Structure 1
Amino acid sequence: MLKETSTGKPREQGLVKPSPVQVPGPSANGSDSLYPSGPHTLHYFYTGVSEPGPRLPQFIAAGYVDGQLIIDYTTKTKNAEPRTEWMARNLDPTYWDQETRIFQVNKARFRDAVETLRNRYNQSKGFHTWQFMAGCELLDGRSTGGYWQYGYDGRDFISLDKETLTWTAADTGAQVTKGKWEADRSLAEYGKWYLEQNCVEELRKYLEYGKETLQRKETPEVKVLAKAAPEGPTTLSCRAHGFYPRNIAVTWVKDGETRDQETQRGGIVPNEDGTYYTWAATEVDPKETDLYTCRVEHESLRKPRDFFWVKDSECRCVCCVSGGEEKEATPGKGTVPKRYPTPHCPASTIADQSGLWEPFPLPASGVLPHCNA
């Protein structure tokens, strides 16, 4: 958590610096073996605005672990509040009172920072924002770096290079701040320490607190859909949803070769239940749809899985995964949609949306893929 110190700050910084927190290590010998390979992330975001409104508080602060909101504060709630059960359970009221005081100090400093920069840029009164974000990452139990940066009016303003202890200014207005902060390297040194030590220690602590939630694995449900254009290409869309953790690879493959340059991708976005959703689409010759497969790689899957779209004269079919469960086939009683020669979908089912099925013999050692249509 970003903490308060008694050190003075440049006016436009508008941020209370972090301070040390006592965090128990993952094990007696300092090993990271209790934590899965990751990556795991801890991010903090602060925003101050010049003209708050009914739906926009003057100051907002939020912290996230692996993309999950764990703490927030606004000038409307006036208190730092836990946003997960495991944060509320593991941290006592004294902790939350302390965080509230820190956020209240930051609120005033962000207000002052907006005013300072508005004057520097000779801007009239109006809506302006001052933002800060910082974060770190663990991969295979080790820190892979971090970031510490500021933005003004939705644009990059200045960021820390923790290796050189210098600041990168985005424009001439930020050059003034760069000069001030490089004349006194204490902020840069502090940012480096926070990112490389304190942030990582906090992340380890939170991973331990929330391990039942943060270290779970939920298998993606995958659907392949097709949309034909009159006298044009067919768009194949591969949609994966309900998966956790966040990292996933969804790629289109033709004849064994990935087609990255021909693929359009959506972002990996959160669902309300804490899982994630994403998609990948590609335009193909309508005569070649059967040559394309959607390959999905995820931590919950033992190996990559391929999914395809099947066109039938009477129905449209999708191949999907649901829950990752596998069942042994009964020889001679497997089913696939009409006119489709072989089951290509390991550990899944070919779901025929029209309900038309034909028996198809499977080998005695075959796995009967299944999922709900």
Structure 2
Amino acid sequence: THSLHYNLTVRFQGGSVQSRFFADCYWDHQLFLHYDNHDKESAKPQELWAEKPLGTESWDTEIWELIEHGQNLKATLAEINAQQEQKGGSHSLQETWGCKIEEDNHTRGFWNFHYDGEPFLSYHPETRSWKVEPSSAQTLAMEVKNSWDADGIQSKVYQAHVQGELCGRFRRYQVSWKGSSLSCGASAQGNLLSPAVNVTCGEALEDTISMTCWAFGFYPQNISVTWLQDGEPQSQDTQQSWGVFPYVNGTYQTWVSIRIPQGQEQRFCCYVGYRGNNSTGLVSCGEPGHSCRSFQPGESVTPGGERGEALRLWYPECNKPAFKDCTAA
């Protein structure tokens, strides 16, 4: 299967949206274009296989659209922050959009947003509406969703630009890059890269708290991430999984969120199973200083009983600064 994937991030700091933004473009999970609007030299193909088949006009189109997306995303972040009671602080908004081939060989566009690193909104073409994702900014996301669904402009943008223009470009790239050498990044190294993991705890909302387990920097992309309560895996209905997406240098990232009663954090931990190198490391949980230590045995059994995967248990420490040994039973 093939995919065309874009990530763009803008930030709010010092009372205003920052003028600088960054964008990364991926083909089949491999970076082919990085753009920093304050560094014009960065706007060039990252790999030879991406540079040769396409002319200057195609790259000009890519850059122009990234600039347009950046301006629109900065305006969106300004509008979102204007709806909050507390106007200060530092915030970020990430837009992810692209096109991929489904199992039936049809193309399908995707489009979603993350606010302060947490899932925020995702577009559902079946209902032509936005879905609010579980997060500490859920109330804010609902306000934005209602506004976007009411005017219908975003739905038209999806049909015309994401599903239309972008998926059309995806097909053209697929033809242009057919047979090109895409064995770059981590895949060319032939290495198994174990994930780093970060557990974040969102703000309390109606006596519940959102916890997100983010695994990143791993290769290849096969991984299992789930939340455990008292050592028992939670059902898929209680968790929100976001799939596996490109990270950097040909590696991957994924995250899984769960909303639990406030005060019950110590009963939950994040399980990450991966066929990679065993390691021990520190994992940040929420605010600076709110961390836990993870311990990973050399071999273990996953909740499904399969041997050979590396078992990691990460316990959140959302309420107080502390270190805790997360030893696997």
The two structures have a TM-score, normalised by structure 1, of 0.46
2:248, 2:66 → 1: CA distance? 28
- Residue of structure 1 aligned with 2:180, choices 212, 215, 220: 212
The CA deviation string for residues 180-203 of structure 1, in whole angstroms up to 9 with x for no partner, is 222232421431454544433333
- Structure 2 match to 1:200: 167
Task: Give the drift of 1:49.
Answer: 1.0
Find out whether 1:181 has 2:112 as its counterpart.
no
- Residue of structure 2 aligned with 1:279, choices 276, 280, 284: 276
Find out whether 1:110 has 2:78 as its counterpart.
no
- Structure 2 match to 1:73: 35
The CA deviation string for residues 228-263 of structure 1, in whole angstroms up to 9 with x for no partner, is xxxxxxxxxxxxxx98xx56699xxxxxxxxxx9xx
Q: Aligned in 2, Cα 1:278/1:196: closer, same or farther, shift over 3 Å?
A: farther
* SS of equivalent residue, structure 2 residue 86: coil
- Residue of structure 2 aligned with 1:143, choices 97, 106, 120: 106
- Structure 2 match to 1:152: 115
* SS of equivalent residue, structure 1 residue 103: helix
1:287-306 mapped onto 2 (5 Å cutoff): none
1:269, 1:43 → 2: CA distance? 8
1:110, 1:271 → 2: CA distance? 22
* SS of equivalent residue, structure 1 residue 112: helix
1:270, 1:177 → 2: CA distance? 27
- Residue of structure 2 aligned with 1:190, choices 157, 170, 189: 157
Do the aligned residues in 2 keep the contact of 1:57 with 1:74 (CA within 8 Å)? no
Task: Give the drift of 1:71.
Answer: 1.5
* SS of equivalent residue, structure 1 residue 283: coil
Q: Aligned in 2, Cα 1:119/1:141: closer, same or farther, shift over 3 Å?
A: same
What RMSD, in angstroms, separates the aligned Cα atoms of the two structures? Answer: 4.1
1:197, 1:75 → 2: CA distance? 26
Across the two proteins, how many residue pairs are aligned to each other?
Answer: 211
Do the aligned residues in 2 keep the contact of 1:167 with 1:178 (CA within 8 Å)? yes
1:63, 1:269 → 2: CA distance? 10
1:313-332 mapped onto 2 (5 Å cutoff): none
Q: Aligned in 2, Cα 1:144/1:179: closer, same or farther, shift over 3 Å?
A: same
Q: Aligned in 2, Cα 1:268/1:70: closer, same or farther, shift over 3 Å?
A: closer
- Structure 2 match to 1:161: 124
Do the aligned residues in 1 keep the contact of 2:299 with 2:307 (CA within 8 Å)? no
1:271, 1:120 → 2: CA distance? 33
Which structure features the higher share of strand residues?
Answer: 2
1:154, 1:58 → 2: CA distance? 18
Instruction: Give ranges in structure 1 of 5+ residues lacking alignment.
Output: 1-38, 223-241, 251-260, 262-266, 285-291, 296-373
Do the aligned residues in 2 keep the contact of 1:86 with 1:209 (CA within 8 Å)? no
- Structure 1 match to 2:22: 60
The CA deviation string for residues 69-121 of structure 1, in whole angstroms up to 9 with x for no partner, is 11221122136322221332232223333433333333333333322222211
The CA deviation string for residues 35-90 of structure 1, in whole angstroms up to 9 with x for no partner, is xxxx22211111001249xxx98201111011111122112213632222133223
- Residue of structure 1 aligned with 2:48, choices 74, 85, 91: 85
Do the aligned residues in 1 keep the contact of 2:221 with 2:251 (CA within 8 Å)? no
Do the aligned residues in 2 keep the contact of 1:46 with 1:132 (CA within 8 Å)? yes
Q: Aligned in 2, Cα 1:74/1:117: closer, same or farther, shift over 3 Å?
A: same
* SS of equivalent residue, structure 2 residue 52: helix
Do the aligned residues in 2 keep the contact of 1:87 with 1:209 (CA within 8 Å)? no
1:101, 1:41 → 2: CA distance? 21
1:104, 1:144 → 2: CA distance? 25
Task: Give the drift of 1:209.
Answer: 2.9
Do the aligned residues in 1 keep the contact of 2:93 with 2:114 (CA within 8 Å)? yes
Q: Aligned in 2, Cα 1:283/1:107: closer, same or farther, shift over 3 Å?
A: closer
Task: Give the drift of 1:142.
Answer: 0.8
Instruction: Give ranges in structure 2 of 5+ residues lacking alignment.
Output: 193-217, 225-232, 234-243, 253-273, 278-297, 310-329
Do the aligned residues in 2 keep the contact of 1:62 with 1:73 (CA within 8 Å)? yes
Do the aligned residues in 2 keep the contact of 1:269 with 1:278 (CA within 8 Å)? no
The two structures have a TM-score, normalised by structure 2, of 0.51
